[in-house]
């Protein structure tokens, strides 16, 4: 009996040691990544930076991870070994838009089928296990940079559904710096 208790104690202490070791290691790694990101921002003279998924507007695949920097004169987008520069004079608007998708899914209830079978037999299983329509609402948010390219209005969009509120900082920065003259477009 005492050896089983000692073995259990050693296993528990080993597990606790492993957990503490992993916490320390991941904390150091996170600090190293933050330090490298801060150094990159300083080298670019950027006030903001974010890792966002590309949605539309650039000649790269959808959902490609992009590093977006806001420098005093332009927005820099780095993805797939390419850098795209969008000068701030060309930017008309920076906004966040949302898109709501409602999908219907057919779901069968195996628990209802078992319960129905126990109570009412085969007919109860058929009724209890019937398929039901379930609505799933999916909300996606996008950060959109609208800009003037020659005489055309273009945009670059990023999916921000899974990110924090860093996209709001890009919008706020644009609104604070906004001193663009009124753009006229003849239709």
Domain range summary for the chain, segments of one domain joined by +: 53-58+88-180
Quote the tokens at residue 21.
């070791």
Its pTM surpasses 0.75: no
What mean pLDDT do residues 24-43 have?
82
Whether residue 164 has pLDDT greater than 70: no
> 163 phi and psi, to 5 degrees?
-90, 180
* pLDDT tens readout for residues 42-76: 788 888 888 899 999 999 999 999 999 999 889 99
Q: Which residues of 108-127 are buried (b: 16+ CB within 10 A; e: fewer)?
A: eeeebbeebbeeeeeebbee
Residue 124 has pLDDT above 60, yes or no: yes
Sign of CA dihedral 168, 169, 174, 175: positive
């Amino acid at each position: 009996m005492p050896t089983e208790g000692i073995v259990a104690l050693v296993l528990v202490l080993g597990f606790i040691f492993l957990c503490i070791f992993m916490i320390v290691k991941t904390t150091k790694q996170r600090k190293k990544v933050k330090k490298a990101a801060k150094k990159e921002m300083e080298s670019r003279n950027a006030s903001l930076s974010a890792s966002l998924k590309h949605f539309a507007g650039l000649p790269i695949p959808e959902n490609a991870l992009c590093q977006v920097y806001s420098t005093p004169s332009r927005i820099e987008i780095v993805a797939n070994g390419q850098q795209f520069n969008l000068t701030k004079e060309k930017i008309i608007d920076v906004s966040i838009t949302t898109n709501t998708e409602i999908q219907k899914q057919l779901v069968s209830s195996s628990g209802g089928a078992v319960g129905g079978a126990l109570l009412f037999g085969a007919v109860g299983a058929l009724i209890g296990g019937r398929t039901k329509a379930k609505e799933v609402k999916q909300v996606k948010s996008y950060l959109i940079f609208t800009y003037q390219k020659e005489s055309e209005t273009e945009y670059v969009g990023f999916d921000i559904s899974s990110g924090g509120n860093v996209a709001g900082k890009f919008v706020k920065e644009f609104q604070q710096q906004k001193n663009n003259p009124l753009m006229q477009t003849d239709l």
